[in-house]
A and B are shown apart, each in its own frame.
Chain A
Amino acid sequence: MDAQLELLIMLHDVDHLLRESHQEEKELGFKMEESSEGLEKARKRIAKKLRRSVLERYELLLNRYGRSVAPVSKGICYGCYMALPTAMASGKAKNEKVISCPNCGRFLYWIGK
């Protein structure tokens, strides 16, 4: 897996954690620490390792869609639910470089199982 893509997935999952923690506490009663400072710091550490252009795009997509990375399964981008062009869907470069969906622009991650 491409190292930048790996970081993108980590950033995506961390952003999700930060967003969902409130819901977990309210709806499921999981006790949360008062501060999420540690996680914010971890987010910064991950973001810093991303290429500037990739990070800027990530933040842009996050603001636009609330989520910047979309899983791909069976040739479909699960960000916009459009089929990817055949050449891309069958490409050998899956997860070996940072690729964006030609339709919605989200970063793509080909999901295994």
Chain B
Amino acid sequence: MKLKELLKPELIELELKNNNKKGVLQELVGLFPLDEKAKGILLETLKKREELGSTGVGKGIAIPHCRSLLVKDLHLVIGRSKKGVDFGALDGKQVHLFFLIVASPLEPTNQYLIVLGKVAQIAREITKDQRILEIDEKSEFIRFLGEVEESLQG
């Protein structure tokens, strides 16, 4: 599965307003195509996942994720904060980019783990410079991530 298939403008927020862990998770979950009740449950599960260990993997990137009964398909929601968020990252640094991944527990092909792995790989790549933080347009943002994905497959 290509990341490109998961990248949708309505699931991207380039200017996150919150600057703490709870607020950012809430803001990201807010982008999901779910009703309010379901969003509340999903938020709880994500917060619990963070209790097992921060998904702030370092270098300004966090990859919050979980499986949830509430979704049918795999979803990728992306958020960016230029200022940075205190997310309890492993390297103690502020987090600027969030890749939130939620999959159904039934998802049979394990795309979830594949996508998680791929996002981690792309995250490492894009932190080599500042470009990802400077893009203003969602379409450009999507194009950029797509290019990075292509280059890694090369």
Contact = CB atoms under 8 A, between A and B. Distances in A.
Interface of A: 1, 6, 9-10, 12-14, 16-17, 20-21, 23, 25, 27-33, 36, 38-39, 42, 67, 69, 71, 73, 78, 109, 111-113
A29 B35 CA distance: 33
A69 B41 CA distance: 15
B38 interface: yes
B51 A33 contact: yes
Contact of B116 (A28, A31, A109, A112): A28
Contacts of B67: 13, 16-17, 20
A1 B38 CA distance: 9
Contacts of B97: none
A39 B34 contact: no
A42 B44 CA distance: 10
B41 to A, nearest CB: 6
B6 interface: no
B70 interface: yes
Contacts of B51: 33, 38-39, 42
B30 to A, nearest CB: 15
Contacts of A69: 69
Interface string B73-86: 00000000000000
A43 B139 CA distance: 41
A27 B113 CA distance: 8
